[in-house]
A and B are shown apart, each in its own frame.
Chain A
Amino acid sequence: MVRKIKDGLILGTIYLAAFFSVVLLAGIIVYVCVKGIGSVRWSFLTTVSSVLKGTVGIAGNIVNTLYVIILTLVIVIPIGIGSAIWLNEYAGKSRSVRLVEFTTQTLAGIPSVIFGLFGMVFFGTTLGLGYSLLTGALTLTLMVLPLITRNTQEALRAVPDSYRYGAVCMGAAKWYMIRTVLLPSAMPGIVTGVILAVGRIVGESAALLFTAGSGYLLPGSGEGLFHKIMESGGTLAVQLYLSMSKAQYDTAFGIAVVLLCIVVIVNFLTGIFADKLNAALRK
């Protein structure tokens, strides 16, 4: 009898905790949407904030975010995939493999403030890139590298060895085999890593505040599009933080809604590709 009561109590606590977690989550999403949906208008998304014209808008920040995403991905995807290929296909089991794996895991655990400090002194000062979108992208490259490496590695591990032997036995050289057999089979895993990286980049603020700065203007046309890379620019998350510290809460909640939508899309896409990878694993 006592045991039944005790079990019931513990079960009750478990239900309570789960209920609490779910309510908390639902509350967060609903609250942000209710508070922020009012500021998200077409003009909010397509204009730049200006005191003269009296407009409040985040177009510049959206463009900056796209710049940072593209720049970072262009740098990080080849490095991450290359690193995973080396770990899984070339390196075997040696000391350097353990070192690469340990450092990759360490990179994943370093807080973004530290990345911000390092990016500021290394890319900004030592390499002389200053406060620019490029500095920000290079800093983020180090931050999301583990995501790409690990997901690619997982995906490569899931490719059956028979594919490798088959290709090599038919006379394929190793790189040819990797390029035409392994990478296509590992594609869902790689894409998952890339999408997760995009999610992380979009949400990052501490690492970008000291590296990419806080500019919010649109790039000029023509050559200006290219020059923008060397100019400072705040992403959506950075602008959210800045608006918050200036007590412009309407703008802040508006950006929060936009970010939330992006996160939902990112999670949805990740789910699709992870399912594909799992289906491939089961075969």
Chain B
Amino acid sequence: MNVKAKCIISKDRVCIVETAAQAIFTICAFVAIFAVGSITLYMIANGVPALFKIGIRDILFSATWKPTAQEPEFGILYIVLTSIMGTALAVMIGVPIALLTAVFLAEIAPKTLTAVIKPAVELLAGIPSVVYGLLGLMVLNPLVYKWEQNLYRGSETHQFTGGANLLSAVLVLAVMILPTVVSISESAIRAVPSELKTSSMALGASHVQTIFRVILPAAKPGIIMAIVLGVGRAIGEAMAISLVSGGCVNFPMPFHSVRFLTTAIVSEMGYASGLHRQVLFTIGLVLFGFIMIVNLILNNILIREDR
């Protein structure tokens, strides 16, 4: 790929243009490095001071979140737990459905049906996250509220959330990761060599056995990549769930009104100031940490696939 074209006469006009072009492209390429570098630097520079001012224990391992009280407390334990729990549940609900849909598209569905469903899945992936939030608020919340009323009828201790709770947020997230996981795992399944399938069938295995014993294991790296990307999307989503999840800081239970790392930033950044604002950056730093872990895992998978 790398065609060498060297300058012969060094003061030639063409030569100057060539050198300049190469220099400009190199600078362009380093914009990405510069961007990631400065984002990391800024997140650390803005997020760390609060950690030391308040104390790591009081911020990361305390559950009381009273940022605007007379004596403010900034424990983000429940917020962190909510993000982890919400992402895990969304992945547990969304991934199986997405995987089976991918199997259906790649192995079972007739070509004409795939031709209809695939663009539809891509459309689902392109819908802005706020639209999902709007739908969650208008459709899902009333449904979940009905369920909640039935479940906790007569309960005196339960704080009713009106449907804006962890469960609703998890369902919205599950729907949102669906298209990502479907399309990536579908291409992974399609990339499995057809000899594997035909030999398995020739040995007497049924189609279903072939799918689950041969094709899916062979497509495993691609499927894992799809799941990791889904996790990344779920943990970083803010706007879709900020109104759907309620917004009180509570222990993450399905019918509790909760606050995620992302929604804490979105809903409080508008009015926060001083130490409160710094703590929001600490929350951003925690989120950034999670995302970097996800990215490193992804990078490892990609490198392994290259080999």
Interfacial residues, chain A to chain B (CB-CB below 8 A): 3, 6-7, 10-11, 13-18, 20-22, 24-26, 28-29, 31-32, 35, 78-83, 85-92, 99-100, 102-107, 109-118, 120-122, 142, 145-146, 149, 157, 161, 164-165, 168, 172-178, 199, 202-206, 209-210, 237, 240-241, 244-245, 249, 252-253, 256, 259-260, 263-264, 266-267, 271
Contact = CB atoms under 8 A, between A and B. Distances in A.
A79 B137 contact: no
B33 A103 contact: yes
A173 B14 contact: yes
B208 A106 contact: no
B182 interface: yes
B35 A145 contact: yes
B5 A14 contact: no
Contacts of B46: 117, 121
Contacts of B133: 241, 244
Contacts of A29: 123
Contact of B127 (A21, A88, A145, A263): A263
B298 A105 contact: yes
Interface stretch (B24-32, B61-69, B159-167, B190-198): B24-32
B28 A82 contact: yes
A90 B26 contact: yes
Contacts of A175: 17-18, 21-22
Given A11-B208, A25-B123, A111 B28 contact: no
Interface SS of A by simple majority: helix
Given A87-B29, A100-B30, A175-B18, A117 B43 contact: yes
Contact of A113 (B24, B36, B238): B238
Contacts of B26: 86, 90
Contact of A21 (B14, B108, B130, B182): B182
Interface in B86-132: 96-98, 100-101, 103-105, 108-109, 117, 119-124, 126-131
A13 B175 CA distance: 18
A5 B235 CA distance: 39
A161 B28 contact: no
12 contacts: A7-B206, A16-B100, A21-B97, A24-B175, A24-B178, A100-B33, A103-B35, A109-B295, A111-B237, A113-B265, A206-B239, A237-B130
A251 to B, nearest CB: 11
Nearest to B135: A28
Interface string B240-276: 0001000000000000000000100110010000000
A263 B262 contact: no
B287 A114 contact: yes
B203 interface: no
Given A107-B36, A109-B294, A244-B243, A32 B25 contact: no
Contact of A111 (B100, B130, B287): B287
A24 B135 CA distance: 12
Contacts of B235: 111
Contacts of A240: 128, 130-131, 134
Contact of B3 (A15, A106, A164): A164
A122 B236 contact: no
Nearest to A81: B28
Contacts of A157: 1
A128 B133 CA distance: 32
Nearest to B137: A244
A203 B33 contact: no
7 tightest Cβ-Cβ pairs between the two chains A and B:
A111-B236, A82-B28, A203-B128, A17-B100, A18-B104, A86-B25, A175-B21
A70 B183 CA distance: 29
A178 B287 CA distance: 41
B222 interface: no
A92 B2 contact: yes
A6 B266 CA distance: 48
A14 to B, nearest CB: 5
B212 interface: yes
Interface string B133-167: 11101110000000000000000000000000000
Contact of A32 (B30, B131, B206): B131
A256 B291 contact: no
Contacts of A87: 29
A113 B31 CA distance: 20
Given A21-B101, A263-B127, A117 B35 contact: no
A128 to B, nearest CB: 15
A83 B31 contact: yes
Nearest to A22: B117
B96 A83 contact: no
Given A18-B100, A24-B175, A11 B108 contact: yes
A245 B243 contact: yes
B42 A241 contact: no
B199 interface: no
A173 to B, nearest CB: 5
Contacts of A252: 134
A18 B299 contact: no
B56 interface: no
